[in-house]
Each structure stands twice: as C-alpha cells, then as structure tokens.
Chains A and B, each alone.
Chain A
C-alpha cells in the first residue's frame, strides 16, 4: 500500500479539474516552478508556525523570565549581611527593579530594567558618561548613564535600597551591591559578588567580620556632608568618625582605600547621590 506512484497521484490531480491545488499537484515534481512554489509554501508554513507559537507563548515565557530575575535578586538581597534584621521573612518583601538615570537622579520608567546592561553600557561611549579624572576616585573612567537599582518594600514602606557599585581595588575591579535602609542614609550591608583581590589580604572584603562592620554606618552627617568611608587602620569607638567609617583591612591598604573610594563615589554626586537625595525628600 505504501509508496503510491507519483504519476497516479498526478493523474488524479488532473481529474480533479482546474482548481488551484489541482493545478499545483499535477505539475511535474521536479519542474522549476513547482520547486519554487513548494519551497515558498514550506517556508511560509514554517514561519507561520514559529511566529504563531512565539506570539502565543510570549506572555508566559516573559512571566517565567521575570520570576527568574526576581529569584536571582532575592538571592543577592538575602546575601546582604544584616538583611534578616530588616525582614522577618525576605520572601514576603516586594522587590522591584528600577532604572535610574544617573544624569538626573530620576527613575526612568520608560526603560525596562531587563534591557539595561550597565556593565556593557559603561564601555560604550554612546551610552555612558565620562567621569573627569579629578573626580574619578573609583578609577572606573566611565559610568553607564542608566543603572538598575532595586527597591524593597514591606507593608508599603520602603525598607531597602540596593545599589550596584563597582570600583578599582588593588588588583582588580570589585563588583558588588550596597544596601541602604529606607532612610537612604543607613547602611544595611555591602557585599561584593565579584573581585580578584589577594586571597587572605584584600579578599577579606568578603569576610563576615568586615562586612558586619558596615551595618548601621551612616552615609552623611546631619549637615549633609558625605562622611562614610574606610578609615586608615583601626578606629577608636570614641572617634568622631566612628558612626560613619569602618576599620581598614589589615595588610590591604590599597583594597581598603579602593572600597572607600568606590563607596564614596557611588554615594556621591557622580553616582547615586542625586537619586538618594530625591528619595530622602520624598
């Protein structure tokens, strides 16, 4: 039964009359016209199938990707030291990503956070802002015009601001997140997810002891002066800078100063300073 001869099929095509399909079916298979028509029809079939599935399934796929991004972010947030004290359960908090325009300090709602790749944009002259050398304390030369920040709310109240930070350390560029409490002035935690500092010395930026020190430090004094930073060496509790500064890392002066500079840069006027000012005024 299988493999009915093609000619038999074609004869029946003829018998079916002059319908469009009959005409196509009766053409010899290897004629140029039929080859082209079949190729076209198959291509059309494939493209309709693919576009239809892409369009119909897009909402679900995008919802899945969004959920994935939220989970990744929750992981980052959960890794910030001191986070447990802010929330009983982090899962209950609503984490939202926003795009901040560093040029104005405003949230730009016309851009989607998933479309912003600040790390790539910082290398692209068209999408970044050059920092004059005398103000470039973090040693990063350019910043992306748009950065993604995360705001965490619980009970409708802003509880946490997560800012991406980066800067030159001793041997590498450090990439991390700085968490500020809802007042935009109290540090919740500072964590680096990527760096190449010397193990045992500069790499202590990762150590729980040092990270713990950042908790509760203030960014600015009541006069609005930027005071946060890393001290050179250890700080006495009675020191007037103690509410604002953490101890330097032993044996890692350059890394300590690098962290000091990058924190001050990103909280300063060229970084998120204007954005945080807006939050404080709200």
Chain B
C-alpha cells in the first residue's frame, strides 16, 4: 500500500518522465525555458493543475458517463487552468507577462489529459493526487534543467544573478545567443533524452525498421 504510493510518486520522475519518455508537452517546454524563473513558475502551474485536476476527476470518476468523459475532463482542466492563470496575474504579475499565453496553453498540454484519462479515471483520490504531483515534478525536473542551462549559457546569469561574467561586461564568457532561441530547447531536450537512455537502457525503444546502407542489396 505504502509502496504503491511511493511508486506512484517517484516513477514519473525519471522512469516514466512525461517529456523524456513519453515526449508529451514539448510546446511549453520549448517556449518557457528561456530563463530559470519562467521555467519554475510554469512548473509550479503545471504541477498545481495536475494535482487538482487528478483529484477532482478521481473524486467523480464513478459518475462520469463514458460518452462525455473527455468533455468533462477538459472542462475541469480548463477551469483550473483559468484559476491558475488568474492567480499568477494577481500574485506574480511580471512573470505572468513573460509566460503570456503559455499558461492558458496548459489546457492543451497532452500530459495533463493523459494523466486524467489513464490514471485519475481509474484510481483513488489520494493516489491520483500523488500521480499528479509525481508527473508535475518529473515535468519540473526537465523544465528546470533546460531553463538553467539556457539561462546560464545564453546570458551568463541565473535567476538574474551573474554566474559567468560575459565578455560584454569585461569577463571571459562569450554568451551563446542560440540558447535564447526556442530551438535550443529542442537540442537540449534531445541531448537529455539521449543521456537518460544511455544511462537507463530499458528506455531505449527498439528500432522499428532496419536502416538500409547505401549500396546494400535488399
């Protein structure tokens, strides 16, 4: 029983990580990881929505008619996202300006839908909340890693504090301005997936087709 809870919480951190294993929710990961601060706020917002939507959906799971279950889930998720967006605008105005539309886009994050449909619909409330928390943390790990790398390499700063003195300010570090552009998040996440799959070979997917070498007869 306790094991089950711990497993539900820890499994999504690396072994079943939404971004690196399931490749879900990349749009947000690309867009909001320019700085660590935005990555942190977005992680917190996704985590809050995951935990709350998982709990609410699990609570009423026996009374959701199958024919409208996706609409019911979407309505609950969308309402929660609006609430989170309003809270951010009220209490973290500057950061909510930087995140702009991406908070609202949490609604379309497949990760949250996936957890609602596959987990919260079939499990008790506490377990669903833990699953949401675990997945939120797994999401946060990737976002924070990418956000930290992008901010340090792109500007030499972390959370606005100078870490590496850039050449423009008389230091030695030439900022890597590609890191400030969204594609760099793609590269970093790709490298991260490569690294994790080299470490945990069980995650590597089998090749779906053989690569044909030039000149090889078939």
Question: Measured between C-beta atoms, what is the minimum distance from A176 to chain B in Å?
Answer: 26
**Any chain B CB within 8 A of the CB of A201?**
no
Residues of B within 8 A of A29 (CB): 62-66
Question: Measured between C-beta atoms, what is the minimum distance from A46 to chain B in Å?
Answer: 4
Q: Are A46 and B122 interface neighbours, CB within 8 A? A: no
Question: Measured between C-beta atoms, what is the minimum distance from B39 to chain A in Å?
Answer: 22
Q: Are A50 and B89 interface neighbours, CB within 8 A? A: no
Secondary structure dominating the interface of A: helix
**Any chain B CB within 8 A of the CB of A223?**
no
Complex: how many Å from CA A173 to CA B134? Answer: 56
- Contact flags B63-105 to A (C-beta < 8 A → 1, else 0): 1111110011001101110110011011101000100000000
Residues of A within 8 A of B64 (CB): 29, 38
In the complex, chain B residues 46-66 whose Cβ is within 8 Å of any chain A Cβ: 60, 62-66
Complex: how many Å from CA A25 to CA B79? Answer: 24
Secondary structure dominating the interface of B: helix
Complex: how many Å from CA A6 to CA B90? Answer: 41
**Any chain B CB within 8 A of the CB of A43?**
yes
Residues of A within 8 A of B91 (CB): 60
Residues of A within 8 A of B93 (CB): 61, 64, 67-68
Q: Are B79 and A46 interface neighbours, CB within 8 A? A: yes
Question: Measured between C-beta atoms, what is the minimum distance from B140 to chain A in Å?
Answer: 23
**Any chain A CB within 8 A of the CB of B142?**
no
**Any chain B CB within 8 A of the CB of A42?**
yes
Q: Are A6 and B68 interface neighbours, CB within 8 A? A: no
Q: Are B79 and A2 interface neighbours, CB within 8 A? A: no
Residues of B within 8 A of A57 (CB): 86-87, 89-90
- Contact flags B92-123 to A (C-beta < 8 A → 1, else 0): 01000100000000000000000000000011
Contact of A35 among B62, B67, B86, B127 (CB under 8 A): B67
- Count A-side interface residues using an 8 Å CB cutoff: 31
Residues of B within 8 A of A9 (CB): 62
A31 nearest in chain B by CB position: B65
**Any chain B CB within 8 A of the CB of A49?**
yes
**Any chain B CB within 8 A of the CB of A224?**
no
Complex: how many Å from CA A42 to CA B67? Answer: 14
**Any chain A CB within 8 A of the CB of B197?**
no
Question: Measured between C-beta atoms, what is the minimum distance from B85 to chain A in Å?
Answer: 9
**Any chain B CB within 8 A of the CB of A240?**
no
A60 nearest in chain B by CB position: B90
Assess A38 versus B72: contact at CB under 8 Å? Given A30-B66, A60-B91. yes
Contact of B80 among A3, A10, A35, A49 (CB under 8 A): A49
**Any chain B CB within 8 A of the CB of A24?**
yes
Contact of A42 among B76, B86, B90 (CB under 8 A): B76
- Contact flags A3-40 to B (C-beta < 8 A → 1, else 0): 11010011000000000000011000111001100110
Known: A49-B79, A64-B93. 9 other contacts (CB 8 A): A29-B63, A35-B65, A38-B60, A38-B72, A39-B68, A47-B79, A49-B80, A49-B83, A68-B93
- Sort A-B residue pairs by CB-CB distance and give the 5 closest, nearest first: A46-B79, A60-B90, A64-B93, A57-B90, A35-B65
Pairs across A and B, CB under 8 Å, 24 listed = A4-B62, A9-B62, A24-B63, A29-B66, A30-B67, A34-B65, A38-B72, A39-B68, A42-B60, A43-B75, A47-B79, A49-B82, A50-B83, A53-B82, A53-B86, A54-B82, A57-B86, A57-B87, A57-B89, A60-B91, A61-B90, A61-B93, A64-B89, A68-B93
Give residues in A with beta carbon < 8 Å to B.
Answer: 1-4, 6, 9-10, 24-25, 29-31, 34-35, 38-39, 42-43, 45-47, 49-50, 53-54, 57, 60-61, 64, 67-68
Give residues in B with beta carbon < 8 Å to A.
Answer: 1, 60, 62-68, 71-72, 75-76, 78-80, 82-83, 86-87, 89-91, 93, 97, 122-124, 127
